[in-house]
Amino acid sequence: MTTNDELQQQLIKDLLIESFEGLDRFDREMLALEKGAGTSDTPNIIFRVIHTIKGTAGCLGLSKIESVAHVGENLLSALREGKVSVTPPLINALLAYADALREMLRSLETERHEGEADYSELLRRLQDLNCETAAPVPPAAPAAPAGWGLFEEEPSAESPVTPPPATVAKAPPIMPEIEPAARPGSGGTPANAPSAADSAIRVNVDQLDKLMNLVGELVLARNQIVQHCGPAQDHGLLAASQRLNLITTELQEGVMKTRMQPIGNIWAKFPRVVRDVAGELGKEVQLVMEGNQTELDRTIIEAIKDPLTHIVRNAIDHGIEGPAERRAAGKPDTGMLILRAFHEGGQVNIEIMDDGRGVNIVRVKQKAIERGLVSVEQAGRLSDREALNLIFLPGFSTAEKVTNVSGRGVGMDVVKTNIEKIGGAVDVVSDSGRGSTVKIKIPLTLAIIPALIVTSGGERFAIPQVSLLELVRLEDDQKRKGIELLCGTPVYRLRGRLLPLCYLNQQLKLVPATAGQLAADLAQADAVNMVVLQADGRQFGLVVDQINDTEEIVVKPLGKQLKGIACFAGATIMGDGRVALILDVLGLAQHANIVSEVRDRAQPDKARTDQTVGDRQTLLLFDAGASTRMAIPLSMVARLEEFPRKSLERSGEQEVIQYRGQIIPLIRVADHIARVGILPEDLSDPMQVVIYAENGRSVGLVVGRIDDIVEEVITVKRESSGRGTLGSVVIKEKVTDLLDVSAIIRAADPAFYLDHPATLAA
């Protein structure tokens, strides 16, 4: 976290660099004005230099520099308005004035204070010059030859304007004496000490962009050379290619750093924005900024400037309450608005948090219905998270009337669009009565990124490494047993967690997308290559034909024919000169209906008004038959299986099935919960079976239909009314019974939990 002192020092450093550079230009323009080589804009230029120094010094609390700059600013204002003539005394006094400002700035740089020199005599001289009146300064001829300016050395008789002799500058100017302590280099500081301005230069942004493009082409050439030199036997050529690789990498990093800027550059205006908006709305808001020095590519900074401004204004207008409302809610009169930025996982995370009233979900739905964005039926089916996302729809606004701050229905949709254009994501989290948080994730840069190269359907694709979590390869028996089907969706159990799978060949239609063809491809493949990715905070597995290698790629924009396809984020040129498409991980997950599905499952039901207790659990929801909705902890589930009815057998009075070299008993859940059971002819085909295992033994729980997987905080609302259940809860606005797994197993097979050899022989 950046401290206030560090931020102050950085701002002072910026002031020094800009002020020393501005004063150098001040000197040049003053000398041009003295020689008659100035232009009509020269008085404006020198005025703006001093005006900028004065304003910045005032913001930083540098009162001495501000007051000295103010006196000179008054004189320069009179000069540019033509109220004061250009005379040698004026030029001498202003140059001495510039030296005084330099001295104070140098003292600020080396001794961390504005110096102790007395400039009262110089300031009186400037004030006296400002009180003098003279003929206005005649304008310069706009097309005057080089060396000609405001005055001609020997004006001709036909010249319409003849300046008074006193304004003609002739012999070098005589500099007025300044107190010894105020001379440049005094006060213990060497006159030739390096200045902050010497450590930085200004470079045209277009030049940086051109340099970045050239480095990108160099990276492409490097990739091609390294690829072709791989199988070469010439050791000298290999050494040269490796050296080129290192130099290119260092050059790339160096150029990237020249484009990086701290996010504090755009945050600097927010204190004023907060003050103005809060004042207009009659609210009291304290702004806290953390992570000001977090760096981003300048193109990213330009892209997020307007979205961040709108979010800040929106938080003050819609989020933070007025003082009276806050007091009634037991909050302090002053609301808190926090801006936080930090690096994580190769991305920049920005959070805008307020301690206001939060988002009223009911009101959001009502406004969306009023504006025709959703129907009444659609609004009724929306989860809390889906309802929150309505604020990103074009035309949405909860404002009662149009004001200077909000109410036009233009804003959050533009925020989402601009953030997603640069490969980022935006999300809103709200806690009613306690506040809201807008979370933004954006890439560090858009120019050159590390990526994983994969092959599918004979084509190569690049996956940005920021979205990559791990690589998984399933071979032989793992390939057959590791992938399961849940409600028709392939999933893989990764360390106890079900991971939705997306087949790249299927999503991009590189091969026939039928289920039979997919199964045939899996059976014929030697192994299953899976790339575990994260999109919008959700994980899924991307199945590809082959995983190649990682390398730095240069991002090229897509052509107009492909811009509308959400699965692609750009293109790149590979080492062999062929084009590879860059996958948009979030767009791919949305196209495969994975992100929205997992997002809904992970969102707890917040519509409850009662007190919740206990830890959050992941639950498997299923229909036990006769419209009985039940749930069990997913941690108790070993596998989810489907068996054809013809595979059902009997051992004595027990229904059994052959499973992975064992004979496991089957228990029909509906028969053990004192409700209407599932008759054999009513069993679905194939049967839905939940495999439960303990102490090396397994049992199959036959259910009617497997519905969903959710995360919930368990709150028992009704005690158990029959055997086989622990009680009733509300999940997704529906009554759900919690299955007592151990009770129904003991009832069906009392010997299951006894300590004896764990398996039954096949």
Positions of CATH 2.30.30.40 in the chain: 449-600
Which CATH number among 3.40.50.360, 3.30.465.10, 2.40.50.180, 1.10.1740.10 corresponds to the domain 604-748?
Answer: 2.40.50.180
List, in order, residues 6 or more apart from 266 with CB less than 8 Å away: 301, 304, 305, 308
* Global confidence as pTM: 0.46
Name the least confident of 192-201, 218-227, 520-529.
Answer: 192-201
Q: What is the mean pLDDT of residues 702-719?
A: 73
Q: What is the residue type of 147?
A: G
Helices (H), 684-759: 741-748
- Kindly report, residue by residue over 347-386, the tens digit of the pLDDT: 788 999 999 998 888 888 888 888 787 888 888 877 777 7
- Kindly report, residue by residue over 59-117, the tens digit of the pLDDT: 888 888 888 888 888 888 888 888 888 888 888 889 998 999 989 988 888 888 888 88
- The candidate with the shortest Cα–Cα distance to 464, out of 557, 581, 559, is 581
**Three-point CA angle 16, 19, 25, nearest 5°:** 145
pLDDT at 55: 86
pLDDT at 135: 41
**Between residues 604 and 754, which one has the greater pLDDT?**
754
Task: Check pLDDT > 60 for residue 182.
Answer: no
pLDDT-based confidence at residue 633 (cuts at 50, 70, 90): confident
Q: What is the mean pLDDT of residues 299-324?
A: 88
Name the least confident of 197-201, 381-385, 554-558, 754-758.
Answer: 754-758
Helices (H), 112-204: 120-131
Positions of CATH 2.40.50.180 in the chain: 604-748
> Which DSSP category does 167 fall into?
G
Residue 217 structure tokens: 């082409």
Task: Check pLDDT > 60 for residue 409.
Answer: no
Average pLDDT over the chain reads 75
Instruction: Name the architecture of domain 4-190.
Output: Up-down Bundle (1.20)
Positions of CATH 1.10.287 in the chain: 205-262
According to DSSP, the β-strands at 649-651 and 425-431 are unpaired
pLDDT at 745: 85
Positions of CATH 1.20.120.160 in the chain: 4-190
Instruction: Name the architecture of domain 449-600.
Output: Roll (2.30)
Task: Check pLDDT > 60 for residue 153.
Answer: no
Alpha carbon separation from 383 to 181, 378, 508, 589, 755 (Å, rounded): 72, 10, 30, 20, 46
- Kindly report, residue by residue over 270-279, the tens digit of the pLDDT: 888 898 889 8
Distance in angstroms (rounded) separating the CA atoms of residues 717 and 296? 50
Task: Check pLDDT > 80 for residue 333.
Answer: yes
- The candidate with the shortest Cα–Cα distance to 100, out of 53, 136, 140, is 53
Alpha carbon separation from 419 to 65, 302, 310, 350, 693 (Å, rounded): 41, 11, 12, 11, 47
pLDDT at 544: 92
Task: Check pLDDT > 80 for residue 626.
Answer: no
Size of the chain in residues: 762
Distance in angstroms (rounded) separating the CA atoms of residues 381 and 618? 22
**Between residues 353 and 549, which one has the greater pLDDT?**
353
Q: What is the mean pLDDT of residues 211-230?
A: 80
Instruction: Name the architecture of domain 205-262.
Output: Orthogonal Bundle (1.10)
pLDDT at 564: 65
According to DSSP, the β-strands at 489-494 and 483-486 are antiparallel
pLDDT at 744: 84
pLDDT at 480: 67
pLDDT at 179: 36
Positions of CATH 3.30.565.10 in the chain: 264-443
- Of 194-208, 413-427, 504-518, 711-725, the range with the highest mean pLDDT is 413-427
**Between residues 336 and 628, which one has the greater pLDDT?**
336
Provide the CATH topology of domain 264-443: Heat Shock Protein 90 (3.30.565)
Name the least confident of 497-506, 665-674, 737-746.
Answer: 665-674
